[in-house]
Amino acid sequence: MEKKNIDWANLGFGYMKTDKRYVSDFKDGKWDEGRLTEDDQIVMSECAGVLQYAQTVFEGLKAYTTEDGHIVVFRPDLNAERLEQSAARLEMPVFPKERFLDAIEKVVAANEAYVPPYGSGATLYLRPFMFGINPVIGVKPADEYQFRVFGTPVGPYFKGGAKPLTIKVSDFDRAAPCGTGNIKAGLNYAMSLHAIVTAHKEGYDENMYLDPKTRTKVEETGGANFLFVTKDNKVVTPKSDSILPSITRRSLVYVAKEYLGLEAEEREITLEEVKDMAECGLCGTAAVISPVGKIVDHGKEICLPSGMEKMGPTTQKLYDTLTGIQMGRIKAPEGWIRVIK
């Protein structure tokens, strides 16, 4: 397989049209058999449910080349399950897990020339998504839906090493109590845009959202879960019903316990206790872990002891172990790596 002539190491995180994408339509109460297509355009009614009432959910995962030359994806079964939960919450039909896995496989195989080589740091980012496509004007769920998966090659998240981020405690809320914070819906991102543009204007990299009810507990950022390391080297992650259950975070907690022999716990974490933490990172598919160096709460600076130069030592170990598992350098737990080729 001849790879595309792409400067893998200098790719950013942007969209590039690839050769094939997967499409399946839901109509008359059932999904059709699905197909690969070269057509990247979607034609729909001006009144489509997705356009009027934001009925859309998505996923994000990566395909990449391992050390021994296989093309693999990381825990796609968890993306399939999470998409089911997201769809159910927005009254959308479930796209069956086995079919989701098959669609991922088809898109990766059809775009093999875009899967970056091992060692480049780049990956083929996969975006499964589903949306209401028929006209909806009275507020109700759509009757017809489309499920799609496309891939786009993306560069290494950190060019020249991970620089710790400075984040701001936001005055905006990301999710309401009993709202949709725990599903991967576009609507959660639309309302975070003003908050992130504001934070960037003020010189911050990200927002830390607090629990919307009491504004005392740490939730997450716009698109990544928090992970902290305490001074006695315990890994702790916020427990909340209004955060998105990150697959990266769940995997890191497992790695902390089973590979590094650390204590790891998911529990409520107050903003008050953040000043006593030794390390902090943001977990998500894109970067695995982005280190946090400083958190600013209305002018009051919390400087993590790990500093502004590099990841904290435990964060680094977690990062090295999980990326080692993903790249095939370290033996993966059963079922974590799905080999496509």
Ligand X SMILES: *Cc1c(COP(=O)(O)O)cnc(C)c1O
Q: What are the C-alpha distances in Å from 17 to residues 60, 65, 102, 111, 295? A: 16, 20, 21, 10, 37
Number of residues counted as binding ligand X (CB under 6 A) = 14
**Judged by CB, which is closer to ligand X: 26, or 74?**
74
CB crowding 53-74: b at 16 or more within 10 Å, else e:
bbbbbbbbbbbbbbeeeebbbb
Long-range contacts of 322-327 (CB under 8 A, 24+ apart): 322/248, 322/251, 322/252, 322/255, 322/288, 322/289, 323/288, 325/255, 325/259, 326/64, 326/66, 326/72, 326/74, 326/288, 327/64, 327/66, 327/67, 327/118
Which stretch, 239-247, 266-274, 315-323, 330-338, contacts ligand X (CB under 6 A)?
A: 239-247
86 binds ligand X (CB under 6 A): no
Nearest distance in Å: CB 320, ligand X: 17
Nearest distance in Å: CB 127, ligand X: 11
Q: How many CB atoms lie within 10 A of CB 6?
A: 16
- Secondary structure element (H or E) that encloses residue 130, with its range: strand 123-132
Nearest distance in Å: CB 221, ligand X: 7
170 binds ligand X (CB under 6 A): no
193-222: contacts with ligand X (CB under 6 A): 220
248 binds ligand X (CB under 6 A): yes
DSSP letter, residue 155: -
How far apart (Å, rounded) are the C-alpha atoms in residues 199 and 245?
A: 24
**Judged by CB, which is closer to ligand X: 50, or 244?**
244
Choosing from 62, 184, 217, 294, the catalytic residue is 184
Which stretch, 41-49, 121-129, 280-288, 307-315, contacts ligand X (CB under 6 A)?
A: 280-288
Amino acid (one-letter) located at 104: I
**Judged by CB, which is closer to ligand X: 57, or 296?**
57
Q: Where does 211-289 have alpha helices with state H?
A: 247-258
The yes-or-no answer on residue 184 being catalytic is yes
How far apart (Å, rounded) are the C-alpha atoms in residues 281 and 291?
A: 4
247 binds ligand X (CB under 6 A): yes
CA atoms within 13 A on the CB side of 47: 10
Residue choice 284, 293, 312, 328 for contact with ligand X (CB under 6 A): 284
Nearest distance in Å: CB 27, ligand X: 28
244 binds ligand X (CB under 6 A): yes
225 binds ligand X (CB under 6 A): yes
Residue choice 223, 281, 293, 328 for contact with ligand X (CB under 6 A): 223
172-191: contacts with ligand X (CB under 6 A): 184
Residue choice 162, 165, 167, 224 for contact with ligand X (CB under 6 A): 224
Using CB under 6 A as the criterion, which residues of the chain lie in contact with ligand X when the complex forms?
60, 184, 220, 223-225, 244, 246-249, 283-285
Residues labelled catalytic: 184
